[in-house]
Amino acid sequence: MGQPLSVWLAYEQASPILFGRAVNAVAFIIQTNFLTEDYNYFTLNATVREIVEVIREFVPNVELSFVDSPIMNQLSYEGSPQRFLGQGFAY
User: DSSP class of residue 5?
Assistant: E
Summarised one tens digit per residue, pLDDT across range 62-80 is 898 888 766 665 666 677 7
With a cut of 70, which residues of the chain have pLDDT below it? 1, 9, 18-21, 34-37, 39, 69-77
Flag whether the pTM goes above 0.75. no
User: DSSP class of residue 44?
Assistant: E
**CB 56 within 8 Å of CB 64:** no
- Residue 13: half-sphere exposure toward Cβ, Cα within 13 Å: 13
Question: Which residues is 64 bridged to in the sheet?
Answer: 5
Cα-to-chain-centroid distance, residue 64:
19
